Amino acid sequence: MIPSLPRPLWLRASTAVFLVAFLVFLFLPLVIVAVFAFNDANYPAPPWHGFTLDWFLGNDSAGRVGLFRDTQLLASIWTSFVVACWVTVLAVVVGTANAFLMERADFPGKGALSMLMLVPLVIPGVILGISILAFASRVADFASDVFGLELDFLRPGLPLVVLGQFSYIVAIATLTISARLKRFDRTLEDAALNLGATRPAVLRTITLPYLRPALVGSAAIAFLMSFENFNTTLMLVGADSPLTIMMYGRMREGATPVLNAVSLFLMVASALLALTLMRRNDRKDA
Amino acid sequence: MLEATATAAWHRRLMLGLLLAPALLWLFALIVLPHLDLALLSFREPVAPRKYVPSLAQYRTFFAEPLYWHVFMRTAILSALATALTLLIAFPVAWTIAKLARGRMGALLFVVCLIPFWVSETVRTLGWMILLRESGVLPALLVRLGLTNGPVELLYHDATILVGLVYTSLLFMVVPLVGSLESLDNSLIEAAYDLGSGGFAILRKIVIPHAAPGITAGCIVVFMLTLGNYLTPTLLGGKNSLWFTEQIYTQFITRFNWEQGAAFGFLLLALSTAMVWFGLKLSGQRFSDVMRRT
């Protein structure tokens, strides 16, 4: 049970075995993906045929298109990046506004609104996707029938993907930023105001710097969640596929190890993001 | 003086309006109205091009066509099973992190558990496909070990789908469990032990009641995510996956039968909401507390 109580040997041994098995279970799929990015074969499967960088650098003449020559994949990474940037900016800005609204303002119906803000988190992503798709189409049809306006951004495509992802990611940003704003000592603001600072100056020099870790943290989470989102995106996507949709399509067909290469790239990128965040936090604590 | 207070009040009202606008725009334009629209869509039936009448036809089809409710029930049952399995696997891990590991080991183990979830679900599923398919790593290993005569197909079974779903869900169970176990005072366990309780009694009478909020939060989130998952069941289950989200996709995108797809969407939403509600009632918790926990 706990360290201060005697634990029989069999219990300690089985705990250790269980933990090792658990870690293997956790990391085996990732290790396998990474290893087969370097296998010198046309299909990501055993046996091992030797080491190659073809799946990163290869071009058409070698008969193998590597990640850095695969224009389709590169374009989809770029698409995901652009979408994620939009979602991040929107989610952090609106999330901050929501945090101030919930922590600082008082108005009738506040309780109901704060409940409503949590609802997007319990709606399955697929349903968020179809509801936004149907509603946007209705609005676009209406505009086209009544005003003769063609609102193309309401048809399946990247703007709709951004809105769909934003609709639930902003709820997470709101929670994160509200939690930190709640712990803020308001006497600091009062002190600054008493000393003659204007309200915008107080916001800029005191409140926002205090919120900074939450802002950075929620931005990172928003970016990551947007980049990895599949369910909502699948329903709203148009001609330009973000990376997850592109990878899904290729995985169904049985793709070459170029998918392993792009996966490895994603692993390295998210590891770097995680490390940067952790280092920031360590510095803040020190 | 009076003028100054009036200006201040006006300022306050302006600020409130500016802060309310994005929140209301988000919640109404992207959540409330789309779902009302989806409800309307599910309660109508096309009778001629661009002509509709209100009807329950979409819901009748769901109950009349065995395939549809079969898939629905199957999705629900497999999701519940995946949630239970996730809890069984995550609990000892959370216990080790919260209670057994000393000093930095606990924190380190916790971070190690989180790492795989920084990587996209697509990548993790790709890993399982390479491991499990007929030409994959595990079947080759089984042949090498002499356990099977030829490579066996390990993909496209219900068990495969469960493995994938449990794998994807672990994080969402471990995090709330660690949170609720860390707050459990060790002296309670020691007292129970000194008074002669066995391990199982301690677990049942002290640990589980104390960790109930964390267990509920984890189960709600895992069940909901599993029910709404699309990627893992379709890729690991192939044509046999028969997952309900796939039916929604087929109706909406492939067949362009939005009315039917909307009805399916609502049924899934109803099931998901019912489970969340049930979980909250069972543990007597408030929705907002559970969401903040995860």
Each residue of B56-72: pLDDT tens digit?
A: 888 998 999 899 999 99
Q: Does B28 touch chain A (CB under 8 A)?
A: no
CA A279 vs CA A28, A210, A267, B114, B115: distances in Å: 27, 18, 18, 16, 15
Range of the domain at A3: 1-69+257-286
One domain, residues A231 and A181 = yes
One domain, residues A188 and A278 = no
Query: According to the model, what pLDDT value does residue A124 have?
Result: 92
One domain, residues A218 and A282 = no
With beta carbons under 8 A apart, name residues in chain B contacting A267.
119, 123
Q: Does A191 touch chain B (CB under 8 A)?
A: no
Residue A100 has pLDDT above 80, yes or no: yes
One domain, residues A149 and A247 = yes
In the numeric block, the tokens 């800029």 are attached to: A204
Rounded to the nearest 5 degrees, what angle is found at the Cα of B120, between the Cα atoms of B216 and A39? Answer: 135
Is B23–A101 a contact, with Cβ atoms under 8 angstroms apart?
Answer: yes
One domain, residues A14 and A94 = no
Amino acid at site B140: A
One domain, residues A20 and A44 = yes
One domain, residues A170 and A265 = no
The whole-angstrom separation of Cα A25 and Cα A31 is: 11
Give residue-wise pLDDT tens across range A37-54.
998 888 888 888 888 888
Give residue-wise pLDDT tens across range A136-195.
999 999 999 999 888 888 899 999 999 999 999 999 999 999 999 999 988 998 899 999
Choose among B118, B128, B288: nearest Cβ to A224. B118
With beta carbons under 8 A apart, name residues in chain B contacting A269.
none
Is A97–B170 a contact, with Cβ atoms under 8 angstroms apart?
Answer: no
Query: According to the model, what pLDDT value does residue A62 have?
Result: 67
A82-114 core/surface letters (b: 16 or more CB in 10 A; e: else): ebbebbbebbbebbbbbbbbbbeeeeeeeeebb
Which residues, numbered 109 to 128 in chain A, qualify as contacts with chain B under a Cβ-Cβ cut-off of 8 Å?
113-128
Give the three-class secondary structure for B134: coil
Give the three-class secondary structure for B103: coil
One domain, residues A61 and A150 = no
Where exactly are the structural domains of chain B?
56-293
Is A2–B99 a contact, with Cβ atoms under 8 angstroms apart?
Answer: yes
Least confident span in A2-11, A42-51, A96-105: A2-11
Number of H helices, E strands in chain B: 15, 2
Query: According to the model, what pLDDT value does residue B191 have?
Result: 86
CATH topology of domain B56-293: MetI-like fold (1.10.3720)
With beta carbons under 8 A apart, name residues in chain A contacting B125.
251
Higher per-residue confidence, A223 vs B150: A223
Query: According to the model, what pLDDT value does residue B84 have?
Result: 96
CB B150 within 8 A of CB A52: no
Is A15–B100 a contact, with Cβ atoms under 8 angstroms apart?
Answer: yes
Give residue-wise pLDDT tens across range B105-116.
888 888 888 888
CATH classification at residue A94: 1.10.3720.10
Query: According to the model, what pLDDT value does residue B126 have?
Result: 93
- Which chain B residue lies closest to A122 (C-alpha atoms)? B224
One domain, residues A42 and A112 = no
On average, the pLDDT of chain A sits at 89
In this predicted complex, what is the ipTM? 0.88
Q: DSSP string spanning chain A?
A: --TTS---HHHHHHHHHHHHHHHHHHHHHHHHHHHGGGBSSSSS-SSP--B--HHHH--GGGT---GGG-HHHHHHHHHHHHHHHHHHHHHHHHHHHHHHHHHH---TTHHHHHHHTTGGGGS-HHHHHHHHHHHHHHHHHHIIIII----GGGSSSHHHHHHHHHHHHHHHHHHHHHHHHHT--THHHHHHHHTT--HHHHIIIIIHHHHHHHHHHHHHHHHHHHHH--HHHHHH--SSPPHHHHHHHHHHH---THHHHHHHHHHHHHHHHHHHHHHHHHHHH-
Which residues, numbered 139 to 158 in chain B, qualify as contacts with chain A under a Cβ-Cβ cut-off of 8 Å?
140
Which residues, numbered 5 to 34 in chain A, qualify as contacts with chain B under a Cβ-Cβ cut-off of 8 Å?
5, 15, 18-19, 22-23, 25-33
- Which chain B residue lies closest to A27 (C-alpha atoms)? B116
Query: According to the model, what pLDDT value does residue B243 have?
Result: 93
Query: According to the model, what pLDDT value does residue B291 have?
Result: 64
Query: According to the model, what pLDDT value does residue B263 have?
Result: 94
One domain, residues A145 and A186 = yes
Q: Once rounded to an integer, what is the mean pLDDT over residues A17-26?
A: 93
Choose among B130, B231, B262: nearest Cβ to A134. B262
Query: According to the model, what pLDDT value does residue A286 have?
Result: 40
The whole-angstrom separation of Cα B86 and Cα B218 is: 9
The whole-angstrom separation of Cα A140 and Cα A138 is: 5
Choose among A15, A127, A228: nearest Cβ to B265. A127
Confidence of residue A284 (pLDDT cuts 50, 70, 90): low
Listed residue (A253, A233, A232) closest to A243, CA to CA: A233
With beta carbons under 8 A apart, name residues in chain B contacting A170.
26
Q: Does A47 touch chain B (CB under 8 A)?
A: yes
One domain, residues A251 and A263 = no
Give the three-class secondary structure for B46: strand
Q: Within chain B, which residues score under 50 in pLDDT?
A: none
**How many domains, in total, are found in chain A?**
2
One domain, residues A15 and A95 = no
